Structure 1
């Protein structure tokens, strides 16, 4: 695997240097669009609306249009944003796992310790396990501020991005407002059906049948000679180019706890005086 991001998980004054890896991969068969008359590959070009010229990717900026005016944002503009320069995964709170709605879960990533000593990494992992909590964190990735859940999977820390609350739609269906009578007999029969299907979930028992059948079809066409030279049709393929250490971990922990207690005490005093 290749790391896609490097930074550090921070909670209090504790700094855990890490590398970020995508935890998933796409297994779909890659297909191209071709002309059905001669098998020639269909290619898409970036055309400028004003001069009709083909624009190279490196010459493309992004823009926002409010309906009346357009603001162009360059790469330098994005790089100058403070959030984009920040390489920290900041722990904002530790919460029980059941409080996070599974609908909010998005993309998962593996975290690897990026330090000569993985002790800080192991400490964070053990802390999450002992307290039976997940960490809610905030960080920036690919020009977007992300909210994520940090949890333990085996010996590895897993970071799973979360949707923002306003990205989750409300499910308002009129049919569900109508009262429905479910009899005890119906419920008993339904429960029996559930029992007949009951098992322990093993994801390795399931396969993507469509992709398997598509691969078998492609292999059969290749075996039958129903193919043509890719280099002649598509042209030659060009491959794309391809934290600091914690000086005193215990002292950082003590200072973090004391700072948290002080902050809570100040908050409580303010609330009491109010």
Structure 2
């Protein structure tokens, strides 16, 4: 049974729902001890008084800051006293559309569960109402001595709580990219080919298809060394694409994406359809009488136009 890491209540309007907070994820990263190189001697960390050199017990350590040459210390009990709501309430102050929150704000996910069976009714009421309206509840609460901005959202069977970064904690990407980020604009042809690649590689989000292959390789590395075998080196990462070769790299990528699309269909084309804009492709599809063209992605349009064109050429050759 997962361990409850916080107990309190969700408040929205005049409704209060007692809940517990549980971690929604678990870390499968391989844990290593530390040893001195060439020995089997473990390395341990100790809390040491820098003036006396003596080890200090955990209960004898307090938090503090130096202000104007004075050290001001603070006990945990004092932090708990000033915590909003005594750290026991998640007060929803407003509801917003989930799509309005930039993913950069999301930090960590927790599950919320009612503390008793009698509170499942108001819990499910809030969950279903938010699910039907695609709204999330914005609230603040205190966990382990830190106040968090949170988004309470509805999943299919439970309420989730996402801790969010405050606005002043989000760095402006412009400070990182500088002026070069906005000045290096791609050409229309490059953008068209890049769009074709993305559409060709599009698919549904199925998280089960993705595995932590790095952790598996680390486990294999440890196992091989334990058996006295030399570990197998991985392939070197690809070299950065030279700006001069960008168009050619895009062209090859388009060809590769086409080959792998739709069961790696091959279609003989008398022209390179990637040279056409999507509007031109739609016009060509209209001329060929292709149904459902308005709902097709660019990659699907290219396939349909190519297939219809090749079919027309085959009929023309038979007639001649």
CA distance in 2, matches of 1:153, 1:12: 21
**How far off its partner does 1:152 sit?**
1.1
Scaled by the length of structure 2, the TM-score of the pair is 0.66
1:70 corresponds in structure 2 to 71
CA distance in 1, matches of 2:211, 2:73: 45
1:220 corresponds in structure 2 to 224
CA distance in 2, matches of 1:221, 1:176: 45
Task: Classify 1:187/1:57 alpha carbon distance in 2 versus 1 (closer, same or farther; 3 Å).
Answer: same
Is contact 1:147–1:162 with CA below 8 Å preserved after alignment?
Answer: yes
Is contact 1:78–1:84 with CA below 8 Å preserved after alignment?
Answer: no
Is contact 2:80–2:87 with CA below 8 Å preserved after alignment?
Answer: no
Deviations 1:43-71 (A, max 9, x none): 11111022211001111101012352220
Is contact 2:10–2:16 with CA below 8 Å preserved after alignment?
Answer: yes
1:180 corresponds in structure 2 to 185
Superposition map of 1:123-202 within 5 A: 123-172=125-174, 173-178=178-183, 180=185, 182-183=187-188, 185-202=189-206
CA distance in 2, matches of 1:199, 1:177: 30
Deviations 1:66-111 (A, max 9, x none): 3522201112222322427231110010011122111000010001
**How far off its partner does 1:148 sit?**
0.4
Is contact 2:21–2:113 with CA below 8 Å preserved after alignment?
Answer: yes
1:97 corresponds in structure 2 to 98
**How far off its partner does 1:8 sit?**
0.6
1:230 corresponds in structure 2 to none
**How far off its partner does 1:195 sit?**
2.1
Is contact 2:131–2:155 with CA below 8 Å preserved after alignment?
Answer: no
CA distance in 1, matches of 2:196, 2:186: 19
Structure number with the bigger relative contact order (C-alpha 8 A, sep ≥ 6) is 1
Scaled by the length of structure 1, the TM-score of the pair is 0.77
Which structure is larger by alpha-carbon Rg, 1 or 2?
2
Aligned partner of residue 138 in structure 2, secondary structure: strand
Task: Classify 1:179/1:216 alpha carbon distance in 2 versus 1 (closer, same or farther; 3 Å).
Answer: closer
CA distance in 2, matches of 1:177, 1:128: 39
2:115 corresponds in structure 1 to 114
1:19 corresponds in structure 2 to 20
Gaps of 5+ in 2: 230-320
Aligned partner of residue 53 in structure 1, secondary structure: coil
CA distance in 1, matches of 2:75, 2:85: 14
The structure whose residues are more often helix, as a share, is 2
**How far off its partner does 1:197 sit?**
1.0
Gaps of 5+ in 1: 226-274
